[in-house]
Amino acid sequence: DVQLVESGGGSGQTGGSLTLSCAASGYTYSSYCMAWFHQSPGKEREGIAAIGKDGVISYADSVKGRFTISKDSAKNTLFLQMNNLKPDDTGMYYCAAESTGPLWLGYFGNCGVGYWGQGTQVTVS
| Residue 17: predicted pLDDT | 98
The string of pLDDT tens digits covering residues 52-76 is 999 999 999 999 999 999 999 889 9
- What is the spatial distance between Cα 104 and Cα 1, in angstroms, rounded to a whole number? 17
| Residue 80: predicted pLDDT | 98
Contact 72, 12 (CB under 8 A): no
Whether residue 27 has pLDDT greater than 90: no
The string of pLDDT tens digits covering residues 94-116 is 999 999 999 999 999 999 999 99
The residues, ordered by sequence, that sit 6+ positions from 68 with a Cβ below 8 Å of its Cβ are 49, 79, 80, 81, 83
